[in-house]
Structure 1
């Protein structure tokens, strides 16, 4: 497969993965728990508790939602701070990977010489893979916490489940890592193994051979003509000398 095609596929996958991860940070419903709906209730039939990285909300059966924003950074629970830090780091490293990859792609006319472009896209691919690993770790930390409170809900009795943003984020992380691997694959041979160069010697031009042959023939004819004319002059001079004596 051509290097340019592999790099374009890598670029599309990393862009898609980065967008997925960025969207999950703004999405609601990272963990969801339902209340009621079993045994019947005249007042509340079913309600939902759900939280994101930035606030916690409660939606009752009349679709009225009350939310409470999380307080300042240092007063948020530890696992939320860890997830935020991992996802923001992933987005930052991914952005650096985009800059290096655009400079190093074969279809762009910036980034210097060919070998320099290969090195840039290699580092960019590594940045995308690191970004995917960081975001995967962030979603893993959150999923582990949700699993723990699902097994042991505590005094609240709320059994939270994973929401859509977690799964969307894992898909985005997979796209990010795969795109970075495509970048590395595209320049693996030139950087690691070297490219085999085959030198093809050009075939002799028959027209050129004909011209050289004709030139040599003409030169031979002219040289023979000159020799014959000189010999004739010498013979005439000898005859004139004899007549004089």
Structure 2
């Protein structure tokens, strides 16, 4: 696969992952109330990073925003910061990737475009790691409370937003990695090509720097000197007999 095809594939993976991560930020179902141990369920509780909601058996829902930012739990504040950072990094990574790709006419020379595309791959990697850490931290809190036998409050299960966030994080990490590796391959190819041209130029300048009339090929040899051998002749005394 060519480097341009790898760049396009990496861009599609990264942008798709960024869209999935961005869609999980306003989603409501980060955690859903568990039905474990209850015979009759009259209401379903669910919440996300911004509010908590309840829906009754008739389908009527009522939501309540978190009253204070400073009164929130530490893990919710950390998840908010990581998700916002992931969305912002993915946005800037998409812009840099468009500028640095070979199929676009922006970014200047090939070397500058390769550097910009590699920087975009690093940004996508950071975006995927931020969203992955946020979803994993939130899921860890849910599973810790669910399996704690001394926790008697309402227990929750993993919501659909966490799985979508994990999928988007993996796509961002894969796309950023492929983008960085494709740029590394183009760097090595350009370096080997430049080294070959440099060696050829040096050998050509070495041949052309010799004085005129003295340049000769490797296989050319001077003719043997036969003058002495032709002058030395041994005649027998009876040669004219």
TM range (shorter): 0.7 to 0.9
Deviations 1:40-79 (A, max 9, x none): 5xxxx43211111111111111111121111232222211
Deviations 1:107-163 (A, max 9, x none): 01010111011001011101101110111001111011111111227342x221000
Q: State the partner residue of 1:154.
A: 151
Counterpart of 1:98 (choices 90, 94, 100) is 94
What is the distance in 2 between the residues matched to 1:107 and 1:174? 25
Deviations 1:181-212 (A, max 9, x none): 1111211123256443377xxxxxxxxxxxxx
More displaced 10-residue stretch of structure 1: 66-75 or 175-184: 66-75
TM-score (norm 2): 0.75
Q: State the partner residue of 1:202.
A: none
Q: Which runs of 5+ in 2 are unaligned?
A: 198-241
Equivalent residues of 2:34, 2:157 under 8 A apart: no
Q: State the partner residue of 2:111.
A: 115
More helix by share: 1
Q: State the partner residue of 1:174.
A: 170
Q: State the partner residue of 1:20.
A: 20
What is the distance in 2 between the residues matched to 1:4 and 1:193? 14
Query: CA distance change for structure 1 residues 196 and 88 in 2, over 3 Å: closer, same or farther?
Result: same
Query: CA distance change for structure 1 residues 141 and 35 in 2, over 3 Å: closer, same or farther?
Result: same
TM-score (norm 1): 0.74
Secondary structure of the residue aligned to 1:168 is helix
What is the distance in 2 between the residues matched to 1:79 and 1:168? 19
Equivalent residues of 1:34, 1:47 under 8 A apart: no
How many pairs align? 195
Q: Which runs of 5+ in 1 are unaligned?
A: 200-245
What is the distance in 2 between the residues matched to 1:13 and 1:36? 38
Q: State the partner residue of 2:9.
A: 9
Query: CA distance change for structure 1 residues 126 and 160 in 2, over 3 Å: closer, same or farther?
Result: same
Counterpart of 2:121 (choices 116, 119, 125) is 125
Equivalent residues of 1:4, 1:105 under 8 A apart: yes
Superposed, which structure 2 residues align to 1:166-205 within 5 Å?
Answer: 166-192=162-188, 194-197=190-193
Query: CA distance change for structure 1 residues 3 and 193 in 2, over 3 Å: closer, same or farther?
Result: closer
